[in-house]
Structure 1
Amino acid sequence: MKILFAGIMARYPFGGVTWCSLMYLLGLRALGHEVFYLEDTGECVYDPNGTTYIQQALEPFGLADRWAFVNYDGTYHGRSEADVKRYCADADLFLNLSGGSWFWRDEYARIPRSAFIDSDPAFTQLAIAKAEPWYVAFFSRFHHLFTFGANIGTPASPVPTGDFTWHKTWQPVTLDEWQAPGPPGDRFTTVMTWQIESFTDVGGNKDQEFVKYIDLPSRTSQ
């Protein structure tokens, strides 16, 4: 298949966010698909070197000429607007990861199949539940909706889904690019946002939920 993949590498130029997109791009390519990276959020990026960052992230994997960033003012970086439209003209699938595009431009809408991949479960669904018309309309146009939240849409989850059906999915990992050559450490480590300001009226953020599992590492043999 020919796939247009939207991500947020320039919007959030951090290792974890970058690898999240790269795992899809490299994994899909390894399966024989043609991929093109798009970023079209309509937002001002935090880092003025965001487009350079995209180039540096994709170039080592042979994707240096397979991307386009659309600035908030409509200017294109990387491949041109005409190039993007040509790619979309015979693309088979539009994959939108975490709002890599908040637009349904004509060239995106004409792609036969589309799917949104929600890597921030609960926040996406809660935002939809606020019934902002443009937000609801945006998600209504996708053929399929996927989320990393395995329990969303089941009795085990209080997260509202409304009229939308969310299918569970997992973050793919291309093992060739994600090796762990070092010996096991003596502890599990991670980098995360402990508290956020969004949906403070709902609660359930990491500072509240992770303490319930704080002893989990001690129960493993790793």
Structure 2
Amino acid sequence: MLIVLANSSLASYPLGGGVWSWMLQYPLGLRALGHDVFWIELMESCGDPARDREFANDFLARVAAYGLAPQSAVLMFEDLDVQDIDRAQVYGPPLRTILDIAHDADLLWNLACSIRQPLLAKFARRVLVDVDPGHLQISATQFEMGVSDHHVHLSVGARLHDPDCGAPTLGLTWRPFLPFVYLPMWEAAPDPGPEAPFSSITQWTWEELSYHGRTLSLSKRAAYLRYVDLPAHTGRAFELAAFIGDKDPAHDREALRNGGWRIVDPHKVANTPEAYRGYLRASRAEISCPKPIFRELNTGWFSDRSVSYLALGRPVVAEDTGFGDVVPTGRGVLKFRDSEEAQAAVAEIDRDYSLHSRRARELACDLFNSDRQLKAMLAAC
């Protein structure tokens, strides 16, 4: 098939090695299955034409390293909510070619509603790919995002239709899928040794959503500060590559360091897909604290970053979002709901690291590999 991938998070974020790595799994995995893939990256203008051009050309240069440049384009708009194709600045193939591809495409996979109307209507078969369950659906109750303008709705929210999930379904059928890795990018790595830290990579945000009288946090800051004392309780190394930024009004760096966390800048240690893999490889395991909204709504979300750790043979200790129904836990992946359970999970990883490392890699190869998950996603379409 000819599959168009639409995304809007990379061209303006060249330092986000983890986000780049996540997105690359899609075109590389689909191409390996024999499909023709065209990637449309949307970007909002920063107002400086020279800077816009630099971002767009850097994007195309980066995807060229994976043989994807001839099948990629950047569409730049003054406002991403108003996507008048006739006013777009186009980088890559000419606009006529892109419109022909849209007309001929068997599927559009529209990640996080990146393409909006009227551009969206140029694709005959439209599939929404949701990697932010709860966040996306609640946002769609407050803003017009074109969610209902898709024919199929895919989500990593494994529990969206369960009675104990608090996220709205918007009257739509959400078909679950699991995050995945294109395994040729991820070779199992040797044990880094017991001195290597439990780690993760994250933004550091304060946002909240209001829904039916509830305040729901989207803040990774709030997620990790719940476990600020975890290093002291476990007596081992923890490191967070957190983009806290130059301003730190609440002195979060100090609080984390006082709790025993090492803090590094992800824009320095994981600013390319290659550096991102290297950072994960140097870790003992992941300590994953999701956005509180995933936990509070019981969405069943599981992280693409966690799957990358698993592929390297790195176990994952993850705060529970209800994912245990679809992700085997107990070996390789250990879940927790509070600090005591997190401490026990860390101790279990260290008790038999080789067992958990082997199981981590097995899960990546057997369950989270791109062949399996992409075939299931295509079948749902």
> Does the alignment reach a TM-score above 0.5?
yes
Shift of 1:117: 0.9
Q: TM-score, normalised by structure 2?
A: 0.51
Q: Match for 1:199 among 198, 209, 232?
A: 209
Instruction: Determine if the alignment matches structure 1 residue 214 to structure 2 residue 342.
Output: yes
Residue 72 of structure 1 aligns with which residue?
77
Deviations 1:142-175 (A, max 9, x none): 1111112222221231112231222211222111
Do residues 189 (structure 1) and 318 (structure 2) align? no
**3-state SS, counterpart of residue 157 of structure 1:** coil
Deviations 1:110-157 (A, max 9, x none): 433221111122210111122x3x32xx11111111112222221231
CA distance in 1, matches of 2:197, 2:107: 41
Shift in Å, 1:191: 0.6
Q: 1:162 to 1:89 in 2, by over 3 A?
A: closer
SS of 2:147's equivalent in the other structure is helix
Aligned counterparts of 1:155 and 1:184: Cα–Cα separation in 2:
42
Tell me whether 1:165 sits opposite 2:187 in the alignment: no
Distance of 1:178 and 1:104 partners within structure 2: 38
CA spacing shift, 1:87–1:162, aligned 2, 3 Å: closer
Structure 2 residue aligned with 1:15: 17
3-state SS of paired residue (1:125):
helix
User: Deviations along 1:58-100, whole A, 9 cap, x unmatched?
Assistant: 1111112111111114110112211101212211000011233
Q: Deviations over 1:149-204 (max 9, x none)?
A: 22222123111223122221122211101224343454331111244313272237
Pairing 1:118–2:130 present: yes
Q: Which amino acid aligns with 1:54?
A: F
**For structure 1, which runs of at least 5 residues remain unmatched after alignment?**
none
* CA 104–64 in structure 1, closer or farther in 2 if over 3 Å, else same: same
Q: Secondary structure at the match of 1:38?
A: strand
Structure 1 Cα separation of the partners of residues 68 and 201 of structure 2? 27
Cα 1:110–1:195 shift into 2, 3 Å: closer
Unpaired runs of at least 5, structure 2 = 79-87, 224-291, 293-318, 320-336, 354-381
C-alpha spacing 1:217/1:115, structure 2 compared with 1 (3 Å): farther
Aligned to 1:175: 183
Q: Which letter does structure 2 place at the counterpart of 1:28?
A: L
Change (3 A) 1:12 1:99: farther
Q: Is the partner of 2:73 in helix, strand or coil?
A: strand
Residue 141 of structure 1 pairs with residue 129 of structure 2: no
Say yes or no: does 1:2 pair with 2:2: yes
Does the aligned pair in 1 maintain the 2:205–2:218 contact within 8 Å?
Answer: no
Supply the distance in 2 between the matched residues of 1:45 and 1:153 (Cα, whole angstroms): 39
Point out the more displaced range, 178-187 or 25-34.
178-187
* Structure 1 stretches of at least 4 aligned residues deviating more than 6 Å after TM superposition: none
The offset of 1:52, in angstroms, is 2.5
**What is the rounded CA distance, in whole Å, between the counterparts of 2:141 and 2:169 in structure 1?**
7
Going from structure 1 to structure 2, the CA distance change for 1:67 and 1:202 (only over 3 Å counts) comes to: same
TM-score by length of 1: 0.84
Q: Tell me the amino acid that sits aligned with residue 153 of structure 2.
A: L
Q: Distance in 2 between matches of 1:45 and 1:95?
A: 26
**Cα contact 2:207–2:218 (8 A) shared by 1:** no
When the two chains are superposed, the root-mean-square deviation of aligned CA atoms in Å is 2.5
Call closer, same or farther: CA 1:53–1:158 in 2, change over 3 Å. same
Q: Which of residues 39, 42, 49 in structure 2 aligns to 1:40?
A: 42
Aligned residues: 215
Aligned partners of 1:166, 1:104: CA distance in 2, in Å?
A: 23
Would you tell me which structure has more helix in proportion to its own residues? 2
